[in-house]
Amino acid sequence: MTTKTTKAPPATPERRARTTHQQHPEIPSWRRKLRPYLLSLPALIVVIGILYPFVLGAYYAFLNYAAVNPDPHFVWFKNFQSVLGDQIFWQSVKVTVMFAVVATVVETVLGVGLALLLNRSSIIGRLFEKVLIVPLMIAPVIAGVIWKLMFNPQFGILNHVLGLGSTFDWLSAPRRCGR
């Protein structure tokens, strides 16, 4: 199988003008070199915000540090020995693990059961669907009522905080911004 190549038409000045894009000003080289560092700055700030407390906590773990102790000194692994040798610590670990396992199993079983119930097209499935949607509808309604009460001219908190008394009706007064 052979292919035939054809030559492109010669580039005329008129054709070049159509194909060239608008010329952008030249970016100085120092700005081009600085750009990657500026773009990575937010990630660096987050990493420092996470690592600094971690390193500080690890440092304090090897001290006999207390808020009332004016001169902490290194005790190295004595803090860990005292915690790991305490029966109350191991009892709390046992309770925490049991709670995590039981809570995970119960939530998974209830979640899957409810999902299966909602997936059926029965009367009970439709009823549960309606019951579960009600909290999603109530939250915005309550937020709207609270905002309306805050802007109330007679007993709203906004007039009280701004010292306006009951003189300004925020919800029915003509708009004063920019007019």
pLDDT for res 4: 67
State how far the Cα of 58 lies from the Cα of 71, in Å rounded to an integer. 18
pLDDT for res 153: 81
DSSP 10: P
In the chain, where the domains are located: 29-85
pLDDT for res 13: 60
Angle at 34 between CA 33 and CA 35, to 5 degrees: 95
Nearest to 169 by CA among 155, 177, 179, 145: 155
| pLDDT tens digits in sequence order for the chain, 179 residues long | 566 666 666 666 665 555 555 677 888 888 889 999 999 999 999 999 999 999 999 999 999 888 787 788 899 899 999 999 999 999 999 999 999 999 999 999 999 988 888 887 888 888 888 888 888 889 899 999 999 898 888 888 888 888 877 777 777 766 655 44
